[in-house]
Structure formats: C-alpha cells, structure tokens
Amino acid sequence: MSIVDSIFMRMFGRPQGMLGKFGGMIMARMNKAFTYSVIDLLDIQPNDKVLEVGFGSGVGIQRLSQLASAGYIAGIDYSQEMVAQATARNMAEIEAVRVDLRQGSVESLPFEDNTFDKALAVNSMQVWPDAVVGLREMRRVMKVGGRIALGFTSYSGQSNTGLTQILTTAGFTQARLVETDRGFCALAMA
C-alpha cells in the first residue's frame, strides 16, 4: 500500500489515532446529507430495530434514533476512534438504552438471528475484508423481509458494477440500484 493510501485508510477507511479523529470530523460534515438520503430509502418506522455497520462519526445513528423514536438502533464499527466519536454524539440515546454502539467487525456481529427490520452501511463495504461474508452476516441478524441499503458517495472508491450480484450471492433478494445526486445505493430484501 502506498503512503497516500495508508494515510487515507487511517483517516477514513479504518480511522485510527489523530488522523482518524480528524477524518471522522471531515466525514461527519461531508457525508451527512448523503447518509440521510440513504436512510430515507429505508422508510424507517417508529418501532423499527435498525443496524448500521461502519457508522463512523455517528451522524446516521443520530438520524435513525430520531426516526425510530420507539425502536432500537445498534451499530458496529471497526474503529475505536469512531466508536468514541459516535458515542459522544449519541450519548443521551445511549444512556436511554435506545442506542447500542459497539466496536467490532461486520463478519462477526454480536446479535441474535432475525433481530433487525432494517440495516445499512454507508461508504463502508469497500474496505471490508470480504463483502459477501460481511453481507451474509448482516442477513443472518435481519428479519426475513427486512430491508438493507448499501450507500456509496461518488468519491467512495466503490464501483456500482456487480453490486446487486454481490447482494444476491449473499442471499438477499430483489436487489436493485438507485442513483442519487451524490452517489448510489443498492437496496435489497433479507
């Protein structure tokens, strides 16, 4: 990996240390509107149980907890820095036990089968070690008929080619691609 790639990975891919803290602050500003647009595509209901993988700064978690006002929001992120940043941003809801943010990796989620109505990941899947393994694990913790959204900004580095096929390989159905003004989103059913 080149030095530039390594700096980008520490800032954005798997944020770490001071660079990661700074990267989180940048992502909170740059990706908020897009993250909200991905959440809109999930049609969140007040009682929904929702999982976000790779929540980063936690702006999406904050929005989800407003929309699922009587539900439950869980998040997993690989980065300790991002868990700290998102925890600070969502402290009141965490204390109210409506939001649960944990450090971990998508290929081993600490949740029971058939738990979540909706799930999402924004600008995250492109840095997972194995996308299909991660998506299979997300499907395991989703209810049958639950909805997943994978959003990517135009600068994420993820190609939209083959994305619906990856979802189908992981066991999701009705996979389709939606283009938005800032990027694209793949939607499917568990």
Ligand X SMILES: C[S@@+](CC[C@H](N)C(=O)[O-])C[C@H]1O[C@@H](n2cnc3c(N)ncnc32)[C@H](O)[C@@H]1O
Identify residues 110-129 at the interface with ligand X (CB under 6 A).
122-124, 127-128
Measured from the CB of residue 148, what is the shortest distance to ligand X in angstroms?
Answer: 15
Residue from 15, 71, 146, 183 that binds ligand X (CB under 6 A)?
Answer: 15
- Closest of 120, 110, 9 to residue 55, by C-alpha: 120
User: What is the side-by-side order of every strand in the sheet holding 99-103?
Assistant: 99-103, 72-77, 49-53, 116-122, 142-153, 183-189, 173-179
Per-residue binding string, ligand X, 51-90, x by CB under 6 A, is --xxxxx------------------xxxx--x--------
Length of the chain (residues): 190
Identify residues 148-177 at the interface with ligand X (CB under 6 A).
none
Q: Please give the C-alpha separations between residue 129 and each of 10, 24, 62, 85, 178, in angstroms, as whole numbers.
A: 16, 21, 27, 23, 25
Decide whether 64 or 175 has the Cβ nearer to ligand X: 64
- Closest of 27, 24, 120, 156 to residue 81, by C-alpha: 24
Total residues contacting ligand X (rule CB under 6 A)? 24
Query: Which residues contact ligand X by CB under 6 A?
Result: 12-15, 27, 31, 35, 53-57, 76-79, 82, 105-106, 122-124, 127-128
